[in-house]
Amino acid sequence: MAEASQSGGALRVAIFGSGPAGFYAAEELLKQAAPLVEVDLFDRLPTPYGLVRGGVAPDHQKIKTVIKLYEKTAGRPRFRFFGNVAFGQDLKLADVFAHYHHALFCTGAETDRRMGIPGEDLENSHPATTFVGWYNGHPDYRNLRFDLSVERVAVIGNGNVAMDVARILAKPIAELAKTDIADYALEALKQSRVREVFLLGRRGPAQAAFTNPEIRELGEMEGVDLVVRPEELELDPASQAFLAAAEEPTYKRNVEILKEQAAKGEGSHPRKVRARFFVSPVVLHGSKQVEGIRLERNRLEQDAKGAVKAVGTGLFEELPIQMVFRSIGYKGVAMPELPFDDRGGVIPNAGGRITNSPGGQPLPRLYVAGWIKRGPSGVIGTNKQDAIATVNAMLEDARAGLPAIASTPDALPALLRQRGVRPVSFADWKRLDELEVANGKAKGKPREKFTSVEAMLAAL
Ligand code: NAP
């Protein structure tokens, strides 16, 4: 092992995935004085920012202001962005090892978890993740069609993604028109006949995964009533113990907000979001399309470790609905040439060092951060500490010794050119960004996104 590379002694790092974890890791690496670090940040899309662009709801623009921090990182010396470059396709692991000392994967959780119940694949049964990608103009999902001619929709799960989906389905079109929602999605939602959205939680209101502003927002929407059954807010002994033990106030506050909502009754608005608790979907009915859902009523049980679990009671109810979004969590996908823990939906690792199997041996020079490291949990900022922890492991390993690599910073772009890949630089992205903002301005939107890779490359 040599102490330095041939590119001036700097630690050369390739990061794959330019979402929050990728940018936080880049920032932490670039802040170092010893060793100096050179970061090349790759994304398979021409655009940066991962879920901040493709996941955060279009009516939550404030959350997207975190991009300003990432722009600062992109402005640092020794940082380069290579959009439109896919690991496994345009660059293999051998290329990465030839040009970089370390590779860090921040590829997030790109697919969804399945419910595993009969009827899950009927028409009009969708993962929420694809609907989110669709309304956000993500190139992978722009060609999907959602049948919004239906009136009753079920959203399975009680997380913040379920909140986003319910809100986008119910929100007045005039409000959506002021956001950066994809133009085709706005057109489709204009024709929407959706009148009732059922939010179905398998546990109780005290265990809901949504956060206070998100549930409150559903209750404050123009033209929409958030309807909650008072009898489903009565706290059983397991929920009382759960709340008493909860260290942070979110859960208690959620229950209070839901109680305030329940007191308002049915309301008089044309659209309803109906929050239901203690129900698990067991079958989706329908011959071709979804026509209804069978729900099993649950009770809660607390196990020896204090975890509160939903247990079926054998009592069932039928709910006529014509569309389902399962919003029960994202799941990571395997990267070519890298180990994968299919059960956890993550790349196996020990504190960010990729291991050959869960609990196995570290593989030198390979690291992970963000959702592909720990699973799809937490808010955007959670990825900062997560990325810093991985970077600390990388720096510790770098100080212990680095392999000699015979690459220079110019060699990688030359290799991509040779392979016919057209990388998108950060300056290119800023040009796209300006065009999007200008295109949106005419329509009173913060931006009108390019939604296809071809259109992005053509614009450049
Ligand atoms: P999540 O917060 O993990 O919520 C998943 C929900 O699905 C939980 O209510 C869970 O219930 C339920 N669930 C899981 N398996 C189920 C099953 N088989 N049947 C019925 N329900 C099931 O996941 P998410 O909503 O996808 O969000 C991912 C992360 O992104 C979260 O950390 C979230 O806070 C964050 N996010 C934040 C925002 C925001 O800040 N505005 C917006 C979107 C996402 P149990 O609790 O019973 O397991």
Structural tokens at position 426: 């950060």
- Give the type of residue at 263: A
C-alpha angle 419-22-456 in degrees, rounded to nearest 5: 50
Instruction: Please state the domain extents for the chain.
Output: 11-110+332-459, 113-329
User: For atom 33 of ligand 1, which residue has the closest CA?
Assistant: 160
Q: Helix (H, G, I), strand (E, B), or coil: what is residue 228?
A: strand
Phi, psi of 45, deg, nearest 5: -90, 155
How many CA within 13 A on the CB side of residue 288?
A: 0
Do 327 and 163 form a contact (C-beta atoms < 8 A)? no
C-alpha 81/C-alpha 40 separation (Å) is 6
Predicted pLDDT of residue 302: 87
The model's confidence at residue 304, banded by pLDDT at 50, 70 and 90, is confident
Whether 202 lines ligand 1, by a CB cut-off of 6 Å, is: yes
Rounded mean pLDDT, 241-258:
94
C-alpha 4/C-alpha 404 separation (Å) is 7
pLDDT > 70? residue 435: yes
Do 422 and 154 form a contact (C-beta atoms < 8 A)? no
| % residues pLDDT > 70 (the chain) | 98
Phi, psi of 295, deg, nearest 5: -110, 140
pLDDT > 60? residue 1: no
| % residues pLDDT > 90 (the chain) | 94
- Each residue of 62-114: pLDDT tens digit? 999 999 999 999 999 999 999 999 999 999 999 999 999 999 999 999 999 99
Does residue 1 or residue 410 have the better pLDDT? 410
Predicted pLDDT of residue 416: 98
pLDDT > 80? residue 395: yes
Does residue 2 or residue 65 have the better pLDDT? 65
CATH classification code of 11-110+332-459: 3.40.50.720
Whether 109 lines ligand 1, by a CB cut-off of 6 Å, is: no
For the CA atoms of the chain, what is the radius of gyration? 24
Whether 159 lines ligand 1, by a CB cut-off of 6 Å, is: yes
Do 308 and 207 form a contact (C-beta atoms < 8 A)? yes
pLDDT > 70? residue 147: yes
Burial class (CB in 10 A: 0-12, 13-18, 19+), 304: exposed
- Each residue of 264-279: pLDDT tens digit? 999 999 999 999 999 9
Burial class (CB in 10 A: 0-12, 13-18, 19+), 127: buried
Rounded mean pLDDT, 10-24:
98
Predicted pLDDT of residue 374: 98
Residue 330 CA: which ligand 1 atom is closest?
A: 26
- pLDDT, mean over the chain: 96
Closest CA relative to residue 158, chosen from 339, 392, 329, 371 = 329
User: For atom 21 of ligand 1, which residue has the closest CA?
Assistant: 157
Predicted pLDDT of residue 57: 98
Q: Compute, in angstroms, the gap from residue 427 CA to the centroid of ligand 1.
A: 36
Predicted pLDDT of residue 8: 60
- Each residue of 165-220: pLDDT tens digit? 999 999 999 999 999 999 999 999 999 999 999 999 999 999 999 999 999 999 99
Predicted pLDDT of residue 9: 81
C-alpha 410/C-alpha 394 separation (Å) is 23
CATH classification code of 113-329: 3.50.50.60
Do 111 and 331 form a contact (C-beta atoms < 8 A)? yes
pLDDT > 60? residue 7: no
pLDDT > 60? residue 308: yes
Whether 157 lines ligand 1, by a CB cut-off of 6 Å, is: yes
Predicted pLDDT of residue 2: 40
Q: Would the CATH topology of 11-110+332-459 be identical to that of 113-329?
A: no
Whether 327 lines ligand 1, by a CB cut-off of 6 Å, is: yes
